[in-house]
Structure 1
Amino acid sequence: MEAAQEAPDRPPLDLNALSDAAFLSAKGIPQLTVVESTGSTNADLLRGVTEDPRAWPDLSVLAAEYQSAARGRLDRRWEAPARSAVSVSVVLRPVNAEGRPLPTQSYSWLSLLAALALRQALLDTAGIPAELKWPNDVLVRGRKIAGILAQLGPLGDGAAPPVVLGTGLNVTLTEAELPVPTATSVLLEDPATVDRTELLKSYLSHFAVLYRSFCNADGDPAAGMAGGPSLHKRVEAVLTTLGKQVRAQLPGDHEIIGHASRLDEYGSLMVVDAAAHEHVVTAGDVVHLRPWAPPAADDAGPDSAESGYA
């Protein structure tokens, strides 16, 4: 671990490999742009799809070597050293094979689909087993290695609004460079490689296959996809949140504490509280808690449910 504390060599992304016409064509990616530095790739693409929608067709990709104003969920800011992460955003204009837009209620699955693709990329490329944490994190041994943020673009010309999907993967961050102690990076997980180009290509490859299959199923998470189980089943199989006691922090300073039981058809988390009431959690932070025994009915309450962080 001592050696890992030293900042590793951080080569740039391989533009030739990423711009390879055969790779882009096979994955249905119309364009892939890499910039040396920007505030936020998500913000850049949101501005792009607003000002010049035709310039950013479905599956357009923007990656950055360094982001100075990246934002996560709940408007949290984060920053990583240049060339230490995979920072990438993708424009999505979900339509089926006939060109019919997907229902917008299916959009809530897109960040989970991306997390699933990134999990597979980590396993295939770096040999790192990972899990998903609802709604949009990728974990290794309980520590966050990546986060995903989906943002809705403007509604124009009567068509369904586009989605900008941003992904930030910690690759060569050392222990000292991690944003919080509960984070990790590819480097710190005994990887087969820390090649950001290969990780990015693998992620985009897996994402494109799952995304196209999801679109061709009209955004139905219960439909079989890419020659295998449905998106719903695939996500639930690797979602470490399920089966845990959680605290769901909701907008407006509200919270629910209980047992995370399943995902509904919209990708929302179902949480059963100590009084056996099932709640639908559609957005908000979820904290995994240590296991607890349900209190007696006359004793039930949020305070008795919480026993700290896992």
Structure 2
Amino acid sequence: MEAAQETPDRPPLDQGALGDAAFLSAHGIAQLSVVESTGSTNADLLHGVSVDPRAYPDLTVLAAEYQSAARGRLDRHWEAPARSSVSVSIVLRPVNAEGRPLPTQSYSWLSLLAALALREALLETAGIPAELKWPNDVLVRGKKIAGILAQLGPMGDGAVPPVVLGTGLNVTLIAAELPVPTATSVLLEQPMTVDRTALLKSYLSRFATLYRSFCNADGDPAAGMAGGPSLHKRVEHVLTTLGKQVRAQLPGDHEIIGHATRLDDYGSLLVVDAGGHEHVVTAGDVVHLRPWTPPGEAGGESGYA
């Protein structure tokens, strides 16, 4: 019988290291705050940009040691023990180098960009290989380690509608604390480190680099980024969803079953059904996306939300 895993030490985030002026200025981070407890960092920033937009410029960052009312995509509730996760939200006001706003249709790529940045941070900081699951999850060996939630803020007086981008990364959760059996944490994946401060700094630095490059390309996912391949190519390269048979559940009990082939220019998933018809599945419409095995074939149907 396997012994129960002891709850690890959970030190606070190092606010001195996170608030270091050199670190913030090097990555264009306007301000970074850490709170001990809140309902939701996304909700806090959405409220802030509504009440006092000028106080929340581009790349304003809010992290919390504990969230009591965190929400994921489709308003799913989740909660983790204090200081066990990286829970962070960022205000984005996407403009290019000349200050011209990005087209709002490019906003659909922001959660994928964040997932890509987090994947790079996990690999380089903790030595953990991760993949992306469309539209907004980061997986390690098929289990969810992080989720991303992008929410559009109010237009306000400016011409650039803000986006609040929230990320929740499971860091020191033990198996008994995981929300579902299909989840995992950094601790459970034989990491090089479980230092949440190091993970957060790595994520923010990589996100800021990719985000600025994306903005300077006017939100074009096909443009080369930061001296390398385009965002579109980078995401597709690590997107575990592609090449699989999937069942996409849509609102109103509609569903599409077919082969996930690629992403279109807007970050939507293209699924080809048995009749050869191509369907566009958007992140805003999909309720669940699950791997699917045709009846009678080995393996049966397996699912993850």
Deviation string, structure 1 residues 2-50 (Cα, Å, up to 9, x no partner):
6772110000000110000000000000100000000000000000000
In the alignment, is residue 288 of structure 1 matched against residue 290 of structure 2?
yes
Paired residues of 2:262 and 2:269 also in contact (CA < 8 A): yes
Which deviates the most, 155-164 or 218-227?
A: 155-164
Q: Root-mean-square deviation (CA), in Å?
A: 1.7
Paired residues of 1:244 and 1:288 also in contact (CA < 8 A): no
Query: CA separation in 2, counterparts of 1:307 and 1:266?
Result: 32
1:300 corresponds to: none
Specify the code of the residue in structure 1 equivalent to 2:290.
H
**Offset of residue 254 of structure 1:** 1.6
Query: CA separation in 1, counterparts of 2:43 and 2:117?
Result: 22
In the alignment, is residue 309 of structure 1 matched against residue 302 of structure 2?
yes
Paired residues of 1:4 and 1:187 also in contact (CA < 8 A): no
In the alignment, is residue 74 of structure 1 matched against residue 74 of structure 2?
yes
Query: CA separation in 1, counterparts of 2:290 and 2:152?
Result: 28
1:176 corresponds to: 176
Query: CA separation in 1, counterparts of 2:257 and 2:143?
Result: 21
Cα distance change, pair 118–142 in 1 and its aligned pair in 2 (3 A) = same
Calculate the TM-score normalised by the size of structure 2: 0.95
Cα distance change, pair 190–139 in 1 and its aligned pair in 2 (3 A) = same
Query: CA separation in 2, counterparts of 1:71 and 1:109?
Result: 20
**Percent identity of paired positions between Structure 1 and Structure 2:** 83
Specify the code of the residue in structure 1 equivalent to 2:192.
A
Query: CA separation in 2, counterparts of 1:121 and 1:208?
Result: 12
**Offset of residue 158 of structure 1:** 4.8
**Offset of residue 251 of structure 1:** 2.1
Paired residues of 2:251 and 2:287 also in contact (CA < 8 A): no
1:118 corresponds to: 118
Query: CA separation in 1, counterparts of 2:71 and 2:42?
Result: 9
**Offset of residue 60 of structure 1:** 0.3
Cα distance change, pair 207–239 in 1 and its aligned pair in 2 (3 A) = same
1:265 corresponds to: 265
1:298 corresponds to: none
Specify the code of the residue in structure 2 equivalent to 1:56.
Y
5+ long unaligned stretches in structure 2: none
Query: CA separation in 2, counterparts of 1:194 and 1:204?
Result: 16
**Offset of residue 275 of structure 1:** 1.2
Specify the code of the residue in structure 1 equivalent to 2:301.
G
**Offset of residue 286 of structure 1:** 4.0
1:218 corresponds to: 218
Specify the code of the residue in structure 2 equivalent to 1:71.
R
Query: CA separation in 2, counterparts of 1:79 and 1:112?
Result: 23
Specify the code of the residue in structure 2 equivalent to 1:215.
C
**Offset of residue 290 of structure 1:** 4.4
Q: How does 1:183-194 map to 2 (within 5 A)?
A: 183-194=183-194
Query: CA separation in 1, counterparts of 2:294 and 2:264?
Result: 24
**Offset of residue 86 of structure 1:** 0.1
Deviation string, structure 1 residues 85-108 (Cα, Å, up to 9, x no partner):
000000000000000000000000
1:161 corresponds to: 161
1:208 counterpart SS class: helix
Q: May I ask how many residue pairs the two structures share in their alignment?
A: 300
In the alignment, is residue 230 of structure 1 matched against residue 230 of structure 2?
yes
**Offset of residue 291 of structure 1:** 4.0
Deviation string, structure 1 residues 96-131 (Cα, Å, up to 9, x no partner):
000000000000000000000000000000000000
2:141 corresponds to: 141
2:257 counterpart SS class: strand
